[in-house]
Amino acid sequence: MTATNEQTPRRARHTRHQEAVLALVGSSDAFRAVRDVQAMLREQGTEVSISTLYRTLRLLEREGLVDSVHDEAGAVRYRRAAPGDSGCFLVCRVCDRADPVDLGEVEEWAVRTAGAEQFADVVVHARLRGVCGRCAS
């Protein structure tokens, strides 16, 4: 029997391009636009169609390996999930930096509210959008 870390999402086998996408979105704390990820992959010599890239990122998100946010225009952005992330982020709308924050009472409220509607196994994702200290000064 091998020891496992409960916080680590189950690791599926990935193709080389899926691993390249994962490494790229993990290279920064910022959430990256899918077109930017595609351009960076191209600079590395990996050509991936935008539809394949969206499919890959959605797959990695289902596996718990990446997180997503929607930007001001409604476009989805991704970054690598960190073990122990609460699922709640403070996102800067200027530089796209995202800092995880504690859900605190919000999670209790969400689970209680969902339970009242007969929902179980609830996962909470919250995004607080604003301008970070660096961008504001």
Give the residue with the Cβ less far from Zn ion, 53 or 92.
92
Q: Which of these segments, 71-79, 80-88, 91-99, 120-128, binds Zn ion (CB under 5 A)?
A: 91-99
Q: Does 94 bind Zn ion (CB under 5 A)?
A: yes
In the block, which residue shows the tokens 């999402």?
Answer: 9
Tell me: is residue 88 an annotated ligand-binding position: no
CA distances, 47 to each of 9, 99, 117 (Å)? 27, 30, 45
CA atoms within a 13 Å half-sphere pointing along the CA-CB vector of 78:
25
* Residue 132 contacts Zn ion per CB under 5 A: yes
Instruction: Report if residue 91 touches Zn ion, rule: CB under 5 A.
Output: no
23 binds Zn ion (CB under 5 A): no
Report how far apart, in Å, the C-alpha atoms of 71 and of each of 30, 78, 98, 116, 127 are.
Answer: 12, 10, 12, 31, 10
107 annotated binding-site participant: yes
The answer to whether 128 contacts Zn ion (rule: CB under 5 A) is no
Residue choice 39, 95, 122, 123 for contact with Zn ion (CB under 5 A): 95
**Do residues 59 and 49 make contact, with C-beta atoms less than 8 angstroms apart?**
no
User: What is the C-alpha to C-alpha distance for residues 104 and 84, in angstroms, rounded to an integer?
Assistant: 14
95 labeled part of a ligand binding site: yes
Residues that bind Zn ion (CB under 5 A): 92, 94-95, 97, 132, 135
* Binding region: 92, 95, 107, 132, 135
